[in-house]
Structure 1
Amino acid sequence: MYRLLKILFLLVFFFAFLISPAKADENLTSDYQVTAEAKTDRTMHFTYNISLKNNTSEIYASSYSMILDRMNPANIKAFDSVGPLDAVVTNQNSQAKITVNFSRPVVGKDKILSFTLNYDAVDSIKKSGQAWEVMIPKLSDSAQINNYHLVLKIPSSFGKPAYLSPDPFSKMEINGFQIYEFNKNQLSQFGILGAFGNFQIFNFTLIYHLSNPLKSNISTQIALPPDTAYQIMTFQSLEPKPINVEQDNDGNWLATYFLNKGQKLDVIAKGRVQIISQPNLDFQMNEPFVDKQEYLKPQKYWEVDDQQIINLAQQLKTPEKIYDYVVKTLKYDYGKLEVKRERMGARAVLNNPDQAICTEFSDLFIALARAAGIPARELTGYSYTDNPQNKPLSLNQDILHAWPEYWDESLNIWKQVDPTWENTTGVIDFFHNMDLNHFVFAIHGLDSEKPLPAGAYKTSNQNTRDIDITFGKYLEGPNLDLEFIFNLPKKVYSEFKTNGSIQIENTGGEAVYNKDFLIETDQFTLLSLNQKHLNVIPPYGTISLPIAFKSQKLIWEGVGSINGKINNQSYEYKIRVSSFIVLFTKAILLIAAVFLFVVFLLKIYIKFSKSDTINP
């Protein structure tokens, strides 16, 4: 995404005496105090306070030149203690050369010429969605510079750094600015690259093509992008609606659909994702409980039991050393982006390190980590890049990328890293900090291939683009939207136990986490648990809770209720209660009454019959 720019500092010297020319670093001592201040108008204002000290009495500087590669400086000003200096800029090809002509010579050994150079650069800062990206070139010919100190000033309104490379030797926040300091040693090898922002927002449209070629009906599942410690999902629509959405043991959200024989169905998911650079340390409470030993086992492409991998893992031992080894050992094969290729796996890429793409970087990290006793798994999804050369993607109809994550015991969280992009950029540290551009579609831990991520659900011979991602804006999430379905009879008998269930349906587009569901009754005694902790209900997902109860009184008739409470919301279901004993008694009494009435009628009949016989 970033192109490293080179700044060449050229000193042009006037020789007062006819002597042999000397190198700049032999005849002058240079000191640079530089301030780079980011502006909200997307410009970077540079201030160079430069001091040139004469090391001899024969040579002094008459002018100063700075060459900027692929930069367009504006508002150039130079001055010294006396007043303004003549500053001229010339452009040639992709370079801009600033020349400052000094108005008065400073002659004599140990004499110092001090001046200030200011300019604005629009190439050093840009805004991508909700994130500000900063780029300051590295030093070139740093041997000619004796001392170099740079202060980077970032408005606090930009947000916290998602990543900043190299790591500054000093950082503080003063008067609405984040202040970062760097020295010559840090900037001699790499420039400053950083992204600032508390989060990034992407809008998405994902299309899943489903088909049933069988002669019988089937149910099938698709993987919706899930919440992770780094991303928060909001679905605006999912059409058609699934039968249910469930969370699997890796944390994937699986939507179930029913297909008739021969049926084809396109499912369209729309929404937005909020991505954060530092993991939400509380998210582990939402993770499915899976024994972490499961994430140490070999899988296809993760040959944990291979002796070569075992030997390497025993040498490397830690996640960071494994990461560094993968970054430095493998070489990205850009030629594979243009053709459909087979996934190699960890063992094969060790033997062919120059044939790697993102899946191989991930597979090798995961295999080595697991062999070292570190739980690890793969993430597949979308990663935004505006420079495919520095941050390449696997392009096969849709933009997909793969990167690993490992279980950090100290933080008790799955921590994402990206060895591929650190390898291809060469400057960004993707181990200690993730950027705001990685959007997870699917998690592969218990299975190295399933579920398929969005973009991979295509029918035969289909060549379509099914992923559309754009920058979005932050919007408040929807309110908690739950519906209760009481699968209970309308009428029960007080003498008997009643079984049923309560379904809690999340009709909204965001997951519901860590809610306590409380069941209360009126006129009933619960025979099942009266409280249930709901770890997660995915968007459009349903959870069914069994319930058993009976009347508090053995013989009672009236109206009772089952009440469900969650998140200060209460839902009531009324049930009419009858007594079997009362009904039975009433039936007996009715039968007895009928019998007595019949007997009474018979007696009357017999009586009148006898009367008619006596009186003919």
Structure 2
Amino acid sequence: MRYVKFFSLFLFIYFFLFPSKTYAGVPYKVVYDANYIPTAENDFSVTLKINITNLRSDLYVHEFSLSFPRYFKVENIQGRFENQSITTKTKTDTTKTEISFSLPDNTAIKNTGTTVEITYIQKNGFKIVGTVAEVILPAIQSENSTFNLKLEVPNGVSSHVALAKPQPSAVISNTIVWNSITDQIVYIVFGRSQMYQTSLNYTLKNPDLVSRQTQIALIPETAYQKVYVQNIQPKPQNVFIDTDGNYMATYTLFPKQELVVKYSGITELFPRSGNSMETFSKNMFKKQKEYILKGSSYWKLPPHTTFAGLTEKSTVEEIYDRVLKHLTYDPTQIASTLIRKGANIAIKNPYEAVCTEYTDLFVALARMNKIPAREIEGFAYSTDRTIQPLSFNGDILHSWPEYYNSDLSSWIPVDPTWQDTSGINYFDSFDLNHIAFAIHGKDAVIPLPAGMYKIRDRKDVSVVPIVTNPRSIDKLNAQIVVDTSLKLGSKKKGVLQIINDGNTFRKNLNISITADNTLINPSKISIDLIAPMEKREMEFELNTINTKKRSIITAMIDGKIVAKKQVDISSASELLLNQVIGILIGCISLFVIYKFVTRLKYDK
């Protein structure tokens, strides 16, 4: 009788067989059934049933071991085999906790199943952060095996599933079921959105002897994040949205002036792209096409660069997977002064990668394959930096790439760094932890993200999960600027000024300008996106067509009147008469003044 030593590792699965002969294929199949029940301490009570079926009659499992990555903390481990307790051995090192035990010798019967039951407590199995609860569970992947999992929804947690990776097979009452899991990790978030109180400092300095303008990047609105601006001090001269979608603020600094800009607001993150940004993304992409496939110093690869497994027809998912396979995250790089290497060096030094290398290589390979891609720099909230590291310069920032999906008219975020370090699938869906500070499509560096405007060493970025619902203030002010006296049959230019005095970005505004007795062109205008404090000016032309003396110009946004302006319409003869009368009145006024001054002199 030969013995098989069986070794399985959560996340990273290995099997070592030590028979006296070599067999083709795996001589057994394994079915894992894991049942997770929450406890009052945010832990899980876990029952793992392991059914091993011999596919040969001349061998059986003798030794079995499980190895958990150390960040999955387990306690109170017990084992049972055929209703009898079995002795378990536990060994922990810097990377993992290993549990092993021996099984009694059995007569091997082909196609006969052996069931082992392991119970333990997984500490901190679910974490309540802000308005959501996050659960990360290990799964087993190995040849000729099946892994099934049942999860009971923790008490006091929203039953709404914001994210689930992979998608559940079924939801039965308060139990979520996954069958035949192939992912390394089961990741699930309960809730609808996550909110963060965000406080940022930007230290600006003008070293010159003359005044100069500078711009900073505030937190932008994206398809996955909504911004509520609470306060910006001092107020910027103006704000605007650039072609990448960055929310830019302009300041003028006097000679040798140092200025600290303080921003506070709430950022709300959503699990899926919002359709309200689709029109803006689609229209802006028409402008982004001019540069989005060009290489920069960090995204430029030598001509005719070949990368194993990729061709000019490779899909974005194939590029993503290739980056994951090629690079290895190096946490020791964080302790040193980080130097951004760029894609070309990342290819040559794959074992010295942090988030910027994963991002730059993805962007470079995607653009080389004619797939629009760009970099996002921002803050990623992490409760465990072992599996979700922050590794960028500044206030411990993070970077990740996006690619453009033309079918959805949307930029799709992915994170190869966190998938490599955590095992969570960050390609098919994202999470509620990534806040974009700066979008880099046109330039790989500019604008700098918040946290990088530093003169001295201090904390400039604070991001804290909150449960308070933000207050949305919708306030648009409008003004019509046009000459109030018009000549009948003439054409005049006018301007409609719109200022967003609210605290949120306004999207897809439908504007109409109408007037009685006057033609307006264009009479309908749309604004895809306008930022808080932003001012937009839209020109229109008036053509007077009626002999009536007066016309009222009316501006409406989404059917609501926001501005009115009265103009007087006169014929050419009336205008001439008015001018003559005006001249006469002016002359008479001058004559009266002259006589008055002369008399004063005479009286003296």
TM-score by length of 1: 0.75
1:37–1:154: 8 Å Cα contact kept in structure 2?
yes
User: Secondary structure of the residue that 1:453 maps to in structure 2?
Assistant: coil
Q: Does 1:535 align with 2:528?
A: yes
Partner residue of 2:428?
A: 432
Q: Counterparts of 1:352-371 in structure 2 under 5 Å?
A: 352-371=349-368
The letter for the 2-side match of 1:571 is V
Q: For the residues of structure 1 that align with 2:306 and 2:100, how far apart are their CA atoms?
A: 54
Note the C-alpha offset of 1:283: 2.6
Note the C-alpha offset of 1:54: 12
Partner residue of 2:481?
A: 487
Note the C-alpha offset of 1:151: 2.6
Note the C-alpha offset of 1:554: 4.4
From the superposition, tell whether residues 209 and 149 of structure 1 become closer, same or farther in structure 2 (CA, over 3 Å): closer
1:36–1:150: 8 Å Cα contact kept in structure 2?
no
Moved more, 377-386 or 195-204: 195-204
From the superposition, tell whether residues 564 and 40 of structure 1 become closer, same or farther in structure 2 (CA, over 3 Å): farther
- Kindly, what percent of the aligned residue pairs are identical? 28
Note the C-alpha offset of 1:360: 1.7
Q: Does 1:514 align with 2:508?
A: yes
Deviations along 1:366-423, whole A, 9 cap, x unmatched?
1111111111111111112233333322253412111111122443322111122222
User: Secondary structure of the residue that 2:271 maps to in structure 1?
Assistant: coil
From the superposition, tell whether residues 415 and 33 of structure 1 become closer, same or farther in structure 2 (CA, over 3 Å): closer
The letter for the 2-side match of 1:405 is E
User: Secondary structure of the residue that 1:314 maps to in structure 2?
Assistant: coil
The letter for the 2-side match of 1:467 is V
The letter for the 2-side match of 1:449 is V
Q: Give the alignment partner of residue 298 of structure 1, picking from 295, 298, 308.
A: 295
User: Secondary structure of the residue that 1:564 maps to in structure 2?
Assistant: strand
1:317–1:372: 8 Å Cα contact kept in structure 2?
yes
The letter for the 1-side match of 2:327 is L
Q: Give the alignment partner of residue 177 of structure 2, picking from 176, 179, 204.
A: 179
Partner residue of 1:401?
A: 398
The letter for the 2-side match of 1:237 is N
Deviations along 1:179-224, whole A, 9 cap, x unmatched?
22246xx58xx45444444332221111111222223332221111
From the superposition, tell whether residues 97 and 494 of structure 1 become closer, same or farther in structure 2 (CA, over 3 Å): same
Deviations along 1:208-250, whole A, 9 cap, x unmatched?
1122222333222111121222222221122222222211111
Q: Give the alignment partner of residue 153 of structure 1, picking from 135, 151, 154.
A: 151
Q: For the residues of structure 2 that align with 1:337 and 1:52, how far apart are their CA atoms?
A: 43
2:30–2:51: 8 Å Cα contact kept in structure 1?
yes
Q: For the residues of structure 2 that align with 1:564 and 1:376, how far apart are their CA atoms?
A: 39
1:306–1:347: 8 Å Cα contact kept in structure 2?
no
From the superposition, tell whether residues 389 and 117 of structure 1 become closer, same or farther in structure 2 (CA, over 3 Å): closer
The letter for the 2-side match of 1:151 is L
Partner residue of 2:447?
A: 451
Partner residue of 1:229?
A: 223
Partner residue of 1:567?
A: 558
Partner residue of 2:374?
A: 377
Partner residue of 1:548?
A: 541
2:380–2:433: 8 Å Cα contact kept in structure 1?
yes
Note the C-alpha offset of 1:349: 2.0
1:235–1:539: 8 Å Cα contact kept in structure 2?
yes
Q: Counterparts of 1:82-481 in structure 2 under 5 Å?
A: 121-138=122-139, 150-155=148-153, 157-160=158-161, 162-164=163-165, 167=166, 171-182=169-180, 186=182, 190=184, 192-280=186-274, 283-287=277-281, 288=284, 289-290=286-287, 292=289, 294-304=291-301, 306-309=303-306, 313-314=310-311, 317-425=314-422, 427-459=423-455, 462-473=456-467, 475=469, 477-481=471-475
Note the C-alpha offset of 1:519: 1.0
Note the C-alpha offset of 1:469: 0.6
User: Secondary structure of the residue that 1:237 maps to in structure 2?
Assistant: strand
Q: For the residues of structure 1 that align with 2:256 and 2:67, how far apart are their CA atoms?
A: 67
Q: Counterparts of 1:60-71 in structure 2 under 5 Å?
A: 71=73
Note the C-alpha offset of 1:568: 3.2
Q: For the residues of structure 1 that align with 2:337 and 2:123, how far apart are their CA atoms?
A: 39
From the superposition, tell whether residues 53 and 398 of structure 1 become closer, same or farther in structure 2 (CA, over 3 Å): closer
Q: For the residues of structure 2 that align with 1:147 and 1:375, how far apart are their CA atoms?
A: 39
Deviations along 1:120-156, whole A, 9 cap, x unmatched?
544322222333232334569x89xx97653322539
Deviations along 1:486-545, whole A, 9 cap, x unmatched?
3345x42444554332210011121111111111224x4134311111111112111011
1:6–1:138: 8 Å Cα contact kept in structure 2?
no
From the superposition, tell whether residues 486 and 374 of structure 1 become closer, same or farther in structure 2 (CA, over 3 Å): same
Q: For the residues of structure 1 that align with 2:359 and 2:563, how far apart are their CA atoms?
A: 51
Partner residue of 1:502?
A: 496
Deviations along 1:259-288, whole A, 9 cap, x unmatched?
233332221111111222333355331121
Deviations along 1:450-487, whole A, 9 cap, x unmatched?
1111111224xx22221111112252551421011333
Q: For the residues of structure 2 that align with 1:121 and 1:243, how far apart are their CA atoms?
A: 54
Q: For the residues of structure 1 that align with 2:306 and 2:449, how far apart are their CA atoms?
A: 28
Q: For the residues of structure 1 that align with 2:100 and 2:421, how far apart are their CA atoms?
A: 32
User: Secondary structure of the residue that 2:527 maps to in structure 1?
Assistant: strand
User: Secondary structure of the residue that 2:324 maps to in structure 1?
Assistant: helix
Partner residue of 2:592?
A: none
From the superposition, tell whether residues 484 and 411 of structure 1 become closer, same or farther in structure 2 (CA, over 3 Å): closer
RMSD: 4.6
User: Secondary structure of the residue that 2:291 maps to in structure 1?
Assistant: helix
Q: For the residues of structure 2 that align with 1:160 and 1:80, how far apart are their CA atoms?
A: 37
From the superposition, tell whether residues 80 and 341 of structure 1 become closer, same or farther in structure 2 (CA, over 3 Å): closer
From the superposition, tell whether residues 350 and 562 of structure 1 become closer, same or farther in structure 2 (CA, over 3 Å): same
Q: For the residues of structure 2 that align with 1:372 and 1:44, how far apart are their CA atoms?
A: 45
Q: For the residues of structure 2 that align with 1:487 and 1:570, how far apart are their CA atoms?
A: 16
Partner residue of 1:13?
A: none
Q: For the residues of structure 2 that align with 1:438 and 1:498, how far apart are their CA atoms?
A: 49
Q: For the residues of structure 2 that align with 1:587 and 1:115, how far apart are their CA atoms?
A: 103
1:87–1:98: 8 Å Cα contact kept in structure 2?
no
The letter for the 2-side match of 1:44 is F
Deviations along 1:528-571, whole A, 9 cap, x unmatched?
31111111111211101123335554473x5x432111123213
Q: For the residues of structure 1 that align with 2:108 and 2:342, how far apart are their CA atoms?
A: 67
Q: How many residues align?
A: 551
The letter for the 1-side match of 2:36 is A
Q: For the residues of structure 2 that align with 1:391 and 1:244, how far apart are their CA atoms?
A: 37
The letter for the 1-side match of 2:528 is N
Uncovered stretches (5+) of structure 1, i.e. residues with no partner:
9-27, 100-105, 594-616
- Hey, which of these two has a bigger chunk of helix by percent? 1
Q: For the residues of structure 2 that align with 1:408 and 1:538, how far apart are their CA atoms?
A: 24
User: Secondary structure of the residue that 1:577 maps to in structure 2?
Assistant: strand
Q: For the residues of structure 2 that align with 1:358 and 1:591, how far apart are their CA atoms?
A: 74
Q: For the residues of structure 1 that align with 2:295 and 2:254, how far apart are their CA atoms?
A: 37
1:397–1:463: 8 Å Cα contact kept in structure 2?
no
Uncovered stretches (5+) of structure 2, i.e. residues with no partner:
1-8, 15-27, 586-604
2:91–2:98: 8 Å Cα contact kept in structure 1?
yes
User: Secondary structure of the residue that 1:308 maps to in structure 2?
Assistant: coil
Structure of greater Rg = 1
